[in-house]
């Protein structure tokens, strides 16, 4: 089992025919995006039809599990009682490296809310919720000279 950041009472995500491949990859601790095999567009959440070209042909494309904070919010009110001692926590939208502009909503863990910034580099960490369910969370990643944020100075407040 990996580290747990959220209580067992958290609602479990729902899987369907379009998302099953994504959840299977997540269970193996692989972060993937759906890619249209006709036009190459990527998307998340997964869906049955490409929003760009309307093709029903797609495949799962691996990402490196890194990205940058596109936007975020700090949650200060528990929506279930067992979250009370986890407050405050951060919900982020991460623009994935290698995702061709694809973004994913998740939680930022192991970071104080006042330390979070737009453009902050992050990396995936996995929270195993059971033997067949893992949920991607993100944590702060080291800034390198080759990262888009470090190289361009991008990522200031929007």
Q: What is the pTM of this model?
A: 0.84
Q: Which region holds residue 152: left if phi is over 0, alpha if psi is between -120 and 50, else beta?
A: alpha
Task: Render pLDDT for 20-58 as a digit per residue (tens, 0 to 9).
Answer: 999 999 999 999 999 999 999 999 999 999 999 999 999
pLDDT at 156 over 70: no
Paired tokens of 63: 């990402």
Least confidently predicted of 5-9, 77-81, 125-129, 151-155: 151-155
Task: Render pLDDT for 91-143 as a digit per residue (tens, 0 to 9).
Answer: 999 999 998 999 999 999 999 999 999 999 999 999 998 888 999 999 999 87
pLDDT at 151 over 60: no
Domain 20-143 falls in which CATH fold? OB fold (Dihydrolipoamide Acetyltransferase, E2P) (2.40.50)
Query: 103: helix, coil or strand?
Result: strand
């Amino acid at each position: 089992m990996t580290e747990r950041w959220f209580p067992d009472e958290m609602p479990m995500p729902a899987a369907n025919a379009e998302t099953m491949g994504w959840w299977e990859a997540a269970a193996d601790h692989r972060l993937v995006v759906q890619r249209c095999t006709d036009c190459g567009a990527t998307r998340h959440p997964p869906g049955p039809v490409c929003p760009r070209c309307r093709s029903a042909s797609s495949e799962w494309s691996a990402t490196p599990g890194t990205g940058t904070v596109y936007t975020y919010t700090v949650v200060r009110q528990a929506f279930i009682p067992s979250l009370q001692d986890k407050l405050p926590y951060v919900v982020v939208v991460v623009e994935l490296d290698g995702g061709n502009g694809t973004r994913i909503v998740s939680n930022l863990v192991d970071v104080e809310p006042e330390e979070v910034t737009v453009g902050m580099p992050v990396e995936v960490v996995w929270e195993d919720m059971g033997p067949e369910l893992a949920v991607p969370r993100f944590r702060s990643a080291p800034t390198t000279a080759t990262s888009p944020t470090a190289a361009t100075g991008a990522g200031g407040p929007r």
